[in-house]
Amino acid sequence: MAEQSRQSTDSPAAAPLPVAATKWPLPKPPARRRRLFRRFLTIAGQLLGLLAGGLVAYVRSLPPEWRRRQRFLRLAATLAEYGLDPALVPLPFAAQFRCRLERLGPTYIKLGQIMAVREDMLPHAITNELKHLFDEAPAVAFPVIRALIEAELGHPLVELFQSVEEQPLGSASLAQVHRALTRTGQSVVIKVLKPGVRETVLADLKLLSGLGMVVGPLIPQYEIVAIIEEFRDYTVRELDLTVEADNGDLFSAQFHDTPAIVFPTMYREFSTASVLTMEFLEGFKPGAPATFALDESQRLQVVNLGAEAILRMLYQHGFFHADLHAGNLLILPGSTLRVGFIDLGMVGRFEEQTRRLLLYYYHALVNGDVEKAAQHLCAIARPGPGGGDLAGFRRSVVELSRRFLLRVARGQFSIARLILESMRLGGRHRMYFRVDLVLMVKALVTFEGVGRMVDPDLDVVAVSRKHIERIFRAQFQPARMGRELWRHGPELLDLVGRLPELLAQSGRLLEGSAPSTAATHPLAGLRSAIVAAACILGGVLILAQTDAWLMGSSLLLVGGWIYWRGG
């Protein structure tokens, strides 16, 4: 240590590093490689143990008469059993898988949690067992947490807070939270990334990428590489708590017009990438005894606020809480009843085109239009390796939707279950969905489950229809469409300028086309562009030469809408 100190002060090249760079020092390259190699051996050992345990579990699951015939498999299973942990050998394969993920630590626990929601791709036995990974993880001792907070914020804890509760409110695989009181009297919670988690997870992610490339081709139907990449994107964001602070600010801005939907205020002055201080929301979880003390109108208000919040996140903003469950929802009592959302580290995002398709899909579902719903769902799905059966997938979705809709009259209809079952059909037809879409279903499952917890007689379809109709109408308000026209102004003006050229090209195509090829003719792709350009040009001419501003504006809006939908 003294030699390192002399080198850092005597050598002119050893300039002091910025504070941010020294908080999480990385080991020297040789030490980092050695640690990575040791980690690789640990992971490889658990993987081999899982394969051996899977063989033993498979042989034990065979009917006795089949097992007697499989002499080679019985011998291999007997040999494999000798090297296995006796505590894991009697367990089914799914339970062994969960236990080995727990032994590998936080990275693999998070991976298991992501896999637990992929019910569209993985067997039920696996996803049901992995849901146990959502239980609380062991907490880090408070003296370690105290030292970490003080190192990150640069001051003793007593100078920053009046008090900090040593017993954590909760402990997850990556972080734990403690309640505290600021010097000015605000009640807050401090979320702290556990020591060493960041380095372990980043090293594990490198190894996981390599593992996915090896295992993925062996079981292509489960798209292991895609799951790992999606998991990597989510986990890296969760390792930086400033991202969660940004998420909270964005949610608050999006719901500024609805004070009854609350997100915690972020205290940036007490926050870093490893420590996040936020407002403590005083309330109770749905299903707590206080829930049933609410009168009927209050319970109805809670359900409506929850439905509005979740449906707006998904289908209006395309930015949503991706870790929704009853523990992350709060009912906030007071003169005005409110609902609050906490734990905002994991969010999902839809690009504009996907958000619109999902809005149209959900709108069609709650209105019973299964053909249109299937059309929109197929537009979101992507074919797997080697191509997918899009037509077969669409037929299966229509048939499934019709069966589900028959249950509405019996009060057994679950929109979330219908969407999940429809996505699961995709695997059969080699059509797949991004993890964001599966997390969307998890949000809807939470809405339905919590809603029925508060109101056992909840009519999910009626409540959904009311809120989705409002979002759907807002999609086509003149003010919004005007903003979209302004946003796409350059493209629209270019289209108007090229209208004579497009008309001439389409005329030449019509002259050389045969009636039998109309369905696949290239003119089909130009039709919406030509109609849109004609409407826009007509609107511009009317506005320029007459006082009929309503007609001109209407033509502009219609043309812009056609162009927007066609694009």
Mean pLDDT (10-residue bins), the chain, 567 residues: 38 37 50 75 83 82 74 76 82 89 85 76 82 80 94 93 93 91 94 90 83 72 73 85 95 94 96 96 88 88 92 93 86 91 90 89 88 91 80 91 74 77 85 84 85 82 87 72 61 62 60 48 53 60 51 60 56
Residues 337 and 411 in one domain: yes
pLDDT at 180: 96
Residues 448 and 464 in one domain: yes
Give the whole-angstrom CA distance, residue 53 versus residue 19: 48
- 177 φ/ψ angles, rounded to the nearest 5 degrees: -125, 145
Could you tell me if residue 274 is inside a domain?
no
Residues 496 and 433 in one domain: no
Nearest Cα to Cα of residue 52 among 76, 75, 80: 80
- For residue 341, give the 3-state DSSP assignment: strand
Residues 449 and 556 in one domain: no
pLDDT at 193: 94
Total count of residues recorded for the chain: 567
pLDDT at 490: 66
Residues 223 and 293 in one domain: no
Residues 310 and 438 in one domain: yes
| Domain region containing 204 | 29-134+199-232
Domain count, the chain: 3
Could you tell me if residue 123 is inside a domain?
yes
Could you tell me if residue 493 is inside a domain?
yes
Q: Are strands 338-341 and 261-262 parallel, antiparallel or unpaired?
A: parallel
Residues 128 and 216 in one domain: yes
Helices within 2-161 (DSSP H only): 2-10, 19-22, 29-61, 64-69, 71-82, 93-104, 106-116, 124-130, 142-153, 157-160
Nearest Cα to Cα of residue 240 among 174, 190, 166, 289: 174
pLDDT at 560: 63
Nearest Cα to Cα of residue 341 among 263, 405, 397: 263
Alpha carbon separation from 506 to 391, 491, 529 (Å, rounded): 30, 20, 11
Could you tell me if residue 45 is inside a domain?
yes
Contact criterion met (CB below 8 Å) for 415 and 460: yes
pTM: 0.72
Residues 433 and 534 in one domain: no
Cβ-count burial 11-39 (b if 16+ within 10 Å, e if not): eeeeeeeeeeeeeeeeeeeeeeeeeeeeb
Could you tell me if residue 349 is inside a domain?
yes
Could you tell me if residue 147 is inside a domain?
no
pLDDT at 122: 76
Residues 453 and 500 in one domain: no
Residues 488 and 424 in one domain: no
Could you tell me if residue 264 is inside a domain?
no
Residues 535 and 453 in one domain: no
Could you tell me if residue 267 is inside a domain?
no
Residues 543 and 442 in one domain: no
